[in-house]
């Protein structure tokens, strides 16, 4: 270790000018790129540059589509419309507040699709939409949400509100978030706890939120060092959900072994690459129409 450290000091002292320069250039480049990205994200129009993808939720026994999650994508105009994942823009939009417009855009996309399918008598399933923590400290979220559903005449049970476990627990300190979630529940809106088990207060969250759905985080399937113990824990969660009248959805189901584990713990609904990836609205609707018995 001493050797290593003295080599490093040597390196810095002897090779100094050039190497420090390279480091500075990299840092400068990273900062410049970030600025450019933020400028781009500030300037783009939501209706023009964002689309909603859908990932099916599937019953592992029948392989029928029983629901879907709406997931937003950015079509990057500076990269010939490359499809960018939420990690590219959600963190920044959470800082600027634009995420609330994104979330409502996605909700509207889902409502429009459902309305069109209802009108033409095609199969529909419940669509879940992700909502950032920022909404829940605003007193008017429940009302705004209801307005959109009313506008498209969408029955409450066809849209689910996904909120992540950790974000909610943090906001729960403030009563406003609890009030908003209770308001939604009172209006008959289905709440879904996203990434359940990924945080540190999972039991606290189901105690406080009247959840219709609990989405078991992908880490449950990934982390199988002590499989027997893992199965016991997951079985207990499934039983707890049953007792509370909540439905379980397993996230990130990729392999046959994951499905086997789901059977063992008594979970039926899977969301994951094993059954479906997030796809464009058109591709999703095609598959949904085919899945009619």
Residues that bind ligand C2E (CB under 6 A): 55, 71-72, 85-86, 90, 99, 102-103, 106, 130-132, 162, 194-195, 252-254, 271-273, 278
Q: Give yes or no for residue 55 binding Mg ion (CB under 5 A).
A: no
Both tokens of 44, joined, read: 């783009």
Distance CA 100, CA 62 (A): 36
Binding mask of the shown chain, residues 214 to 233, with x at each position contacting Mg ion by CB under 5 A: ---x----------------
Concatenate the DSSP letters of all residues of 251-283 into one string. Answer: E---SHHHHHHHHHHT--EEESTTT---B-HHH
Task: Tell which residue, 269, 221, 222, has the closest CA to residue 249.
Answer: 269
List the one residue out of 288, 228, 284 whose CA is nearest residue 70: 284
Q: How far is the CB of 67 from ligand C2E (least distance, A)?
A: 13
The listed partner (Mg ion, ligand C2E, none) that binds 254, CB under 5 to 8 Å by sort, is: ligand C2E
Q: Which two tokens stand for residue 203?
A: 């039991």
Report the nearest approach of ligand C2E to the CB of residue 48 (Å). 16
Contact status, residue 215 vs residue 193, Cβ threshold 8 Å: yes
68's CB contacts (< 8 A; 6+ apart) are: 54, 55, 56, 57, 125, 126, 127, 128, 284, 288
171 Ramachandran zone, left/alpha/beta (phi>0; psi -120 to 50): alpha
Q: 102 is in the binding site of which of ligand C2E, Mg ion, none (Cβ under 5 to 8 A by kind)?
A: ligand C2E
Structure tokens belonging to residue 208: 């406080």
Output 165 or 172, the one with its CB closest to ligand C2E: 165
Q: Fill in the per-residue mask, 92 to 131: x = in contact with Mg ion (CB under 5 A), - = not in contact.
A: --------------------------------------x-
Name the residue nearer to ligand C2E (CB basis): 161 or 288: 161
Residues within window 237-256 making contact with Mg ion, judged by CB under 5 A: 251
52 in contact with Mg ion (CB under 5 A)? no
99 binds, among Mg ion, ligand C2E, none (CB under 5 to 8 A by kind): ligand C2E
- The four Cα atoms 54, 60, 62, 65 give a dihedral, to 10 degrees, of -10
For the CB of residue 221, give the shortest distance to ligand C2E in the complex, in Å: 9
| Nearest residue (CB) to Mg ion, 40 versus 51 | 51
3-state secondary structure 98-140: CHHHHHHHHHHHHHHHHHHHHHCCCCCCEEEEECCHHHHHCCC
Cβ at position 175, least distance to ligand C2E in Å: 22
List the interface residues with Mg ion, window 161-190 (CB under 5 A). 162
Residues that bind Mg ion (CB under 5 A): 130, 162, 194-195, 217, 251
């Amino acid at each position: 270790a001493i050797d290593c450290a003295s080599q490093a000091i040597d390196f810095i002292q002897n090779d100094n000018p050039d190497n420090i320069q390279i480091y500075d250039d990299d840092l400068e480049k990273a900062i410049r790129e970030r600025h450019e990205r933020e400028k781009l994200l500030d300037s783009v129009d939501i209706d023009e540059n964002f689309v909603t993808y859908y990932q099916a939720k599937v019953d592992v026994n029948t392989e029928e589509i029983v629901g879907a999650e709406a997931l937003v994508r950015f079509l990057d105009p500076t990269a010939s419309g490359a499809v960018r994942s939420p990690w590219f823009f959600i963190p920044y939009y959470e800082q600027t507040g634009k995420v609330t417009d994104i979330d409502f855009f996605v909700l509207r996309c889902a409502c429009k699709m459902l309305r069109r399918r209802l009108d033409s008598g095609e199969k529909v399933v419940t669509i879940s939409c992700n909502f950032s923590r920022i909404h829940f400290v605003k007193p008017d979220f429940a009302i705004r949400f209801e307005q959109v559903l009313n506008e498209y005449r969408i029955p409450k049970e066809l849209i689910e509100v996904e909120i992540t476990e950790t974000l909610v627990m943090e906001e729960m300190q403030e009563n406003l978030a609890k009030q908003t979630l209770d308001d939604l529940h009172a209006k008959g809106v289905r709440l879904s706890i996203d990434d359940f088990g990924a945080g540190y207060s999972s039991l606290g969250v189901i105690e406080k939120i009247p959840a219709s759905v609990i989405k078991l985080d992908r880490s449950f399937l990934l982390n199988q060092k002590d499989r027997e113990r893992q199965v016991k824990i997951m079985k207990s969660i499934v039983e707890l959900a049953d007792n509370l009248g909540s439905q379980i959805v397993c996230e990130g189901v990729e392999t046959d072994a994951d499905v086997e584990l789901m059977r063992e713990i008594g979970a039926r609904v899977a969301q994951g690459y094993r059954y479906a990836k997030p796809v464009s609205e058109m591709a999703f609707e095609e598959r949904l129409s085919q899945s009619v018995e």
